[in-house]
Amino acid sequence: MKQIKVIAIFTLSFLCVGMKTDTPKPSMYHKGWVDFNKNGVKDVFEDPKAHIDARVSNLISLMNVDEKTCQLTTLYGFARVLEDEFPTPNWKNRVWKDGIANIDEHLNTIWNQEKTHTPYAFPYSTHAEAINKVQKWFIEETRMGIPVDFTNEGVHGLCHEKATPLPAPIGIGSTWNKALVYKAGTVVGREAKALGYTNVYAPILDVARDQRWGRVLECYGEEPFHIAEMGKQMVNGIQSQGVASTIKHFAVYSIPKGARDGDARTDPHVAPREMHQLHLYPFERVIKEASPMGVMSSYNDYDGVPVTASPYFLTELLREQYGFDGYVVSDSEAVEYVSEKHHVAKDYKEAVRQVIEAGLNVRTTFRTPESFIEPLRELIAEGKISMKTIDSRVADVLRVKFRLGLFDTPYVENPKASDKLVHTQADEDFSKQINRESLVLLKNDNNLLPLDINKVKNILVTGPLADEVSFTFSRYGPAFNPSVSVYQGIKKYAGNKAQVHFEKGCDIIDPDWPRSEIIPTPLSKEEQASIDAAVEKAKQSDIIIAVVGEDEKRVGETKSRTSLGLPGRQFQLVQALYATGKPVVLVLINGQPLTINWENKFLPAILEAWFPSTAAGEVIAETLFGDYNPGGKLSVTFPKSVGQIPLNFPFKPGSQAGQPGAGPNGYGNTRVLGPLYPFGYGLSYTTFEYSDLVVNQKTKQSQSAIEVSFKVKNTGKRAGDEVVQLYLKDKVSSVTTYESQLRGFDRVPLQPGETKTINMTLQPDDLRILDINMNWTVEPGTFEVLIGSSSVDIHLQKEFEILPLND
């Protein structure tokens, strides 16, 4: 009865999606099933009651080689590769006349790519109807009628016009709020489903270990446990809405040599044990615990072998060890690089053979589907790829389509409903909250913050990012939402209580940047005049709010940096403002840690905002003036100098130690030591106290769970959030392991004077290491639980012991 109801709804909606002159073929649509291959018989694959494996097997048995190969590539959507917004007669002359695996980013609109702008993205119902029309063509006009998996990006919120915006992933990571990240996933998944997308390319699980790398912005942080916990919540949230989550970029993608990720994109220097314990850890955890339906393979090599052409990565690790049962898409150009960049294939055709044999399911890049399908068909005809291999790769794709329900309800059932399901008022409120929780207070001398709006009468908001909003949008996020700059947000907040003035002060970069970072050039007359104008207004102000950092042109994909100082003339502006003697509050807009040593030494207050989304000005103003108490923590280490890199958490004993200035091996100090701000660091407008650590072992054997509890109290006068962090130290092991590792965290809201008991559980896998024989094991010995408010600010600690099995 339930199935009949679903199909009835689908049939009604199908008739009402703006296709009045294109009547559906009644012979296809039956009570309770769809005759996709139009043979008048309910085949097993068309039977909603049949087991998925049986449906997949049956469908493959009915497909010809052309149809199978079409399920192994992506058709990029309108204005990228697809020239048409809707089906045309010429589609019958293109390779996708036999179907297609997925269509990516069709009619979504990317904010800074004008060619992608389309009237069919918004209103939302218009897009849902458009997707139905494209889907209808594939179902009714191809022989087998296999539905399309419509994919889209989603790391900053769904990449669609006016969808709900989210801050950059580095900001999401800084919330340390698992429930909030799950909610973010449900928003992205719900909006995707309502708009007709069935697969979201999110989250990014890369471990960002080089702060110069441009895509630190799009990662949750540098620590694998933290990334796994956040990533698991995002996947679960997205897939709870009936759409697939495709995690990326597998694997060892986030540490290109010297952070050179533009034309280089190769040669990560990572040892095997480190690869498994750091870079693969989030992928293994998320695959095993959240079962994402997609994985994107990366375009880099590992130890000389391109990942996308590696049976070890795509088959042995992903499927045999981790249990991945979805389908693998390639990152853009990953297949082409096998021959063109890595040179391990004599030509592109050989590259195609290698990736299919390795375990790739779907080639995805900004090239025509024919460019992959034609050489693939030649390889099959030449006997260089077996049909058994092809059938296996196709089965993975079809299995996901069945799991998504595309063979039961292939269309958006109620397109009009999308207008009420996407970017609701509740979603907008949530967007502001996740932006608030992403803010990290880095410095607050003498409690300068929060500012009292009743005591500051003249406020200067200055800096190149003060009245800018471009950083609130992303190529991987929504377009065209109204956005509020920091200056406008503060001006609105102040109302008639204070005078708020603006002076830009300088541009984000100087004309010679980035060369000027290594060969400084004098300020031009115009640059000096701009700084002077800001200084004159600063002298008349009670407080200076300087908004500085990076914008979307200075950070992101292929935009790694040489230096991590403030770009352009921003440092000179900040120094000049400080010289006025007026208090300066620094607001950072940036996508990666910055080496703000002078700023940290001399300025009284610094607020890290990362790349917030469109509510930037509103939430930053609320925070500066105390309506919101910042509680975020850094998910990545801030080095003092690029000369310290690599400098991260976790780290091996002694790897980030000091220098012996005296003694038999002491010859003086020649380095700057320690981080500017450590992993897990963040201040609050209130204070917290930790007490009563209890470590409870049911047994001392390695497979027992270990219960940890402690208390945290808000000892200040303001409500606030504390991110409590549990670290684990393995005192002695068969191989050198990390000084300590994060193994638990929680974001805890507390009223003034309130105490909460925090309970965490250490599972056996939390204690495991790759031993001297490269086997995962929990070794007997002494461990130490460390409870703190950052990786260095430890308040409580207690040891426990794991006994050998024969004890």
Q: What is the DSSP letter of 214?
A: G
Which tokens go with 578? 């400080």
Peptide bond into 678 cis (omega under 30): no
In contact, 200 and 234? CB cutoff 8 Å = no
Q: What is d(CA 416, CA 561) in angstroms, rounded to the nearest whole number?
A: 46
Q: Is residue 149 within 8 Å of 404, Cβ to Cβ?
A: yes
Distance separating alpha carbons of residues 126 and 132, to the nearest angstrom:
10
Distance CA 388, CA 386 (A): 5
Query: Measured at the alpha carbon of residue 219, what is the angle toward residues 248 and 80, in degrees to the nearest 5?
Result: 55
What contacts 66, CB < 8 A, 6 or more positions away? 98, 377
Closest CA to 680 of 195, 281, 175, 312: 175
DSSP three-state, residue 36: coil
Rounded Cα–Cα distance for residues 637 and 623 (Å): 23
Burial of 56 from C-beta contacts in 10 A (0-12 / 13-18 / 19+): buried
Residue 739 CA to residue 751 CA, distance in Å, equals: 34
Phi, psi for 778 (deg, rounded to 5): -100, 110
Task: Dig out the tokens for 259 from the structure.
Answer: 């952070």
Question: Side-chain half-sphere of 580: how many Cα atoms within 13 Å?
Answer: 23
Burial status of residue 662 (CB atoms within 10 A of its CB: 0-12, 13-18, 19 or more): exposed
Question: DSSP character for 481?
Answer: -
Residues listed for the chain: 807
Separation of alpha carbons 151 and 766, rounded Å: 34
How buried is residue 520: exposed, middle or buried, by Cβ count under 10 Å (0-12/13-18/19+)? exposed
Task: Assess whether the previous peptide bond of 251 is cis (omega < 30° from 0).
Answer: yes
* H/E element, 548: strand 543-549
Report d(CA 607, CA 311) in Å as an integer. 46
- 264 burial level (CB within 10 Å; 0-12, 13-18, 19+): middle
Active site includes 746?
Answer: no
**H-helix or E-strand containing 690?**
strand 688-697
Residue 693 has which token pair? 């650590």
Place of tokens 């959240």: 290
* Active-site residue identified among 98, 104, 331, 721: 331
The catalytic residue positions are: 331
